[in-house]
């Protein structure tokens, strides 16, 4: 099974202009995402799919492969499908370009789902333990069936616990009740091409969640559970947080080495 990891990287961003090129510890963010993808076992190659020559030039300078795609694409999935039309593979993994420290094990877990030949699309989720996340519309929740296929994704708290109302006041959540969806996706080639031809679904339009298009068209999505977590960089505040975390990790490592000498 040949797996191609594709990183959609759009230059324009309302909240963080030129987001793929922002500096994080001396490297552009797109390079850090690419390096994490390269570390994942089971991935044949990593390609950056971008709409801007400035990003493509940076990728070429650090030794990566970039494909210039149409600036008219509405989503990263559309961008990946354009790459797929010229780069054959069995499975395509969508690694978002704003995840500079995505653990390779998350990517490997996603790829592992395709060991089941019935799986055409897969994604990741982890258990929610913070009540505030349950009620945040920025944290997408998912519920699954017994097989592990998604029943629904929502920005609302799902499932609704009828006999227990938790308003984020410090109560402990019932274990295994809520799961956060992570926006990493894997697609078999045929499904990817079908997906981008389907019209936007009604639920997708309401929730602004692209994966609902697959469910509305009767395509199961296998949800792989992970205990890993990673930071998204969408705002200047996110950027400063990951910069500070990296600086702290580097300083701690240097101190550890110093004590060992």
Determine, yes or no, domain membership for 221: no
List pLDDT tens digits, range 135-146.
999 899 999 999
Q: What percent of the chain lies above the pLDDT cut of 90?
A: 77
Q: Which of 10-14, 157-161, 250-254 has the lowest mean pLDDT?
A: 250-254
Determine, yes or no, domain membership for 152: no
Residue 165's pLDDT band (cuts 50, 70, 90): low
Residue 131: the pLDDT is 87
Average pLDDT of the residues in 84-89: 95
Closest CA to 174 of 166, 183, 185, 182: 166
List pLDDT tens digits, range 220-235.
999 999 999 888 898 9
Residue 248's pLDDT band (cuts 50, 70, 90): confident
* 168: its two tokens: 């984020």
Average pLDDT of the residues in 181-192: 96
Determine, yes or no, domain membership for 161: no
pTM exceeding 0.95: no
Closest CA to 218 of 201, 241, 240, 243: 201
Determine, yes or no, domain membership for 213: no
Determine, yes or no, domain membership for 54: yes
Residue 74: domain span: 3-115+226-256
Residue 15's pLDDT band (cuts 50, 70, 90): confident
Q: Residue 236 belongs to a domain with what CATH number? A: 3.90.550.10
Determine, yes or no, domain membership for 50: yes
Residue 190: the pLDDT is 96
Determine, yes or no, domain membership for 44: yes
**24 pLDDT above the threshold of 60:** yes
List pLDDT tens digits, range 29-81.
999 999 999 999 999 999 999 999 999 999 999 999 999 999 889 888 999 99
Total domains present in the chain:
1
Residue 256: the pLDDT is 67
Number of alpha carbons in the 13 Å side-chain half-sphere of residue 249: 9
* 233: its two tokens: 């960089």
Residue with token string 């996340």: 133
Alpha helices in the chain (DSSP H): 29-39, 53-61, 76-86, 104-112, 131-135, 189-195, 202-207, 212-216, 236-260
Determine, yes or no, domain membership for 230: yes
């Amino acid at each position: 099974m040949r797996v191609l990891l594709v990183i959609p990287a759009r230059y324009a961003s309302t909240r963080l202009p030129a987001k793929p090129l922002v500096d994080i510890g001396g490297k552009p963010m797109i390079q850090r995402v690419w390096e994490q993808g390269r570390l994942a076992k089971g991935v044949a190659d990593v390609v950056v799919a971008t709409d801007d020559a400035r990003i493509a030039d940076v990728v070429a300078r650090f030794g990566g492969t970039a494909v210039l795609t149409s600036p008219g694409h509405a989503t990263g999935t559309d961008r990946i499908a354009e790459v797929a039309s010229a780069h054959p593979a069995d499975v395509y993994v969508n690694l978002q370009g704003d995840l500079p420290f995505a653990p390779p094990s998350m990517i490997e877990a996603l790829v592992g789902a395709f060991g089941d030949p019935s799986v055409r699309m897969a994604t990741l989720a982890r258990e929610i333990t913070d009540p505030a996340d349950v009620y945040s519309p920025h944290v997408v929740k998912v519920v699954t069936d017994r097989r592990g296929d998604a029943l629904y994704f929502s920005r609302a708290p799902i499932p609704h616990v009828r006999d227990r109302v938790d308003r984020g006041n410090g109560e402990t959540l019932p274990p295994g009740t809520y799961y956060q969806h992570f926006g990493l996706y894997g697609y078999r080639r045929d499904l990817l091409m079908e997906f981008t031809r389907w019209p936007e679904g009604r639920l997708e339009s309401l929730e602004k969640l692209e994966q609902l298009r697959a469910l509305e068209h009767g395509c199961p999505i296998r949800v792989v559970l992970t205990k890993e977590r990673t930071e998204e960089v969408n705002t200047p505040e996110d950027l400063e947080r990951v910069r500070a975390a990296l600086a702290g990790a580097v300083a701690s490592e240097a101190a550890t080495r110093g004590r060992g000498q």
